[in-house]
Homo-oligomer: A and B are copies of this chain.
Amino acid sequence: MKKSLVLMILLFTTIIFAQQQKVEKWDIYEAEFNGPDYGNPFVGITLSAEFHHSDSTHAVYEPEGFYDGEGIFKIRFMPDLEGEWTFKTHSNKKELDGLTGEFTCIAPKSDSHGPVVVRNKYHFAYADGKPYFPFGTTCYQWCFESPELQNQTLETLKNSPFNKVRFLVLPNYTEDYVEGPRAIKEFPFEGEPENKWDFSRFNTTFFKAFEKNVERLRELGIEADVILFRPYDNGKFGFDTMDRETNDRYLRYVIARLGAYSNVWWSLANENSFIRHLTAEDWDHYFKVVRDKDPYHHLRSIHNAGDLYDYTKPWVTHVSLQYYNVVRNFGVCMVVRDIYGKPLVNDEINYEGNIASRWGQLSGEEMTRRFWIAYIGGSYATHGEAIEHESKIDWISEGGVLRGTSAERIGFLREIVESGPQEGLQPLDHYYLLNAAGKYGEYYLYYFAEHTPEEWEFKLPDEGLENGMKFKAELIDTWNMTITPINKVYTVEMLNRYNYIDKDHSVIKFPKKPYMALRLTRIQE
């Protein structure tokens, strides 16, 4: 009797609370319930809620809830349509079952565009249609560092050209994380390092801080490429040798907590093949868990090392590749794109740096060059820095500040890409013209990499051109970040079955410098 009274009051309160609430589109509605706090509430209690829009033709979502400690259960929901929403819970616990609520979804703020989805086969856009061109960076462990360092990392990201960051949920093993000033205070599981974990209990303090970081990234307009599993454990923490039941529970918990953040991407693993005991079939299984439990279908991929997971599988939304050769030379990105038929994000192309490991020895010039080759190839890339410094704080590991020379140039490239074709750069010819991308008849971006041409004969592939079309040209110095307009209007005429040239047979003079590009834009009359 007393129990059901409490329940009634709770339900009433919840409804009152929900009725008052207004939630922006793509922001998070959160319902909170009291539930059992005895035993282990992380295990064996099912909780989800069906969210219905008042327009009954709209999709119904059923996110799972999660236990947040101290008898509190939460369900988070990201509404994707303005108007009235209602929900009703399902649970195997009576006190959590059949609870209802409602809220109003209002227009998003002008800088909120929703989750990123695949668009135009090889490219991305936000849910509201605004193009999203990934310019990623990498700070694997930033969420395990001190609050001061985390703040610095966010400040750096805010002022950087990067709009996506790859990072870990499960800390990698290092002695510094066990003892000493950098020792991690909050781990994802209850227990203590090195390996005394209760894998059946999540540490809500850890997750509250972690999701706060995801939220802070969202406020900065940065996508959180959340890496769910990783190797690098050497059997110490044991986070890479958890059993399937634990892994499944962990995935569901992470999705229940983070899924409603519009800026989340799921990276099933970093360097997955280094987790030797997990097979392609295991990854299939985990992909399916993520696909089935995330009602919003955030982007899903997996980041390889050595053996490649089969990215053609239907639950993979894009290719998160580590294969440096793909961005070393022109013409390879399109091979990989054509094989997979999905967007290609070169999420590891070696790092700008000077460390002893050869994966961290790129010059800023070479990092920038690889970025350009990726984008000219109709794909995307991710930056990282491994630059030795007395602070022993490395951007790719701990975050902090950027010290390299490539980030600024990547920002310059981003400006060029974002002001180019909104559907994404399209390689213009997969077989015979490998250093140019754009949009037929409208926009041509040539990149000359390390070559130092003295001149460029005005010649464009035929597709989309007609005699008499007019173009302007700009010389771009991708290293010194200058754009120099050429004071001439070019008028094309057909040369042969493959090409058009300028009617004056123009040749564009180049400074004999590396890392030059050329932008040709149609002049609409």
Contacts and interface: CB of A to CB of B under 8 A. Distances in A.
Contacts of A431: 323-325
A311 to B, nearest CB: 8
A339 B336 contact: yes
Contacts of A308: 338-339
Given A328-B331, A331-B329, A338 B312 contact: no
A432 interface: yes
B432 A358 contact: yes
A308 B338 CA distance: 7
A518 interface: no
Interface string A329-355: 111101110110000000000000000
Contacts of A324: 431
A525 interface: no
Contacts of A325: 330-332, 334-335, 430-431, 434
Nearest to A334: B325
Given A325-B431, A358-B498, A336 B335 contact: yes
Contacts of A358: 432, 498
Given A323-B335, A323-B430, A335-B335, 6 more contacts: A307-B338, A310-B312, A325-B332, A325-B430, A325-B431, A332-B335
Nearest to A496: B356
9 contacts: A307-B338, A308-B339, A325-B330, A325-B335, A328-B331, A329-B329, A332-B332, A335-B335, A336-B339
Interface in A361-392: none
A336 B332 CA distance: 10
A326 interface: yes
Nearest to A307: B338
A385 to B, nearest CB: 19
A323 B310 CA distance: 20
A424 to B, nearest CB: 19
Nearest to A357: B497
Interface in A298-332: 307-308, 310, 312, 323-326, 328-332
Contacts of A332: 325, 329, 331-332, 335
Contacts of A310: 312
Interface in A415-469: 430-432, 434
Interface string A13-47: 00000000000000000000000000000000000
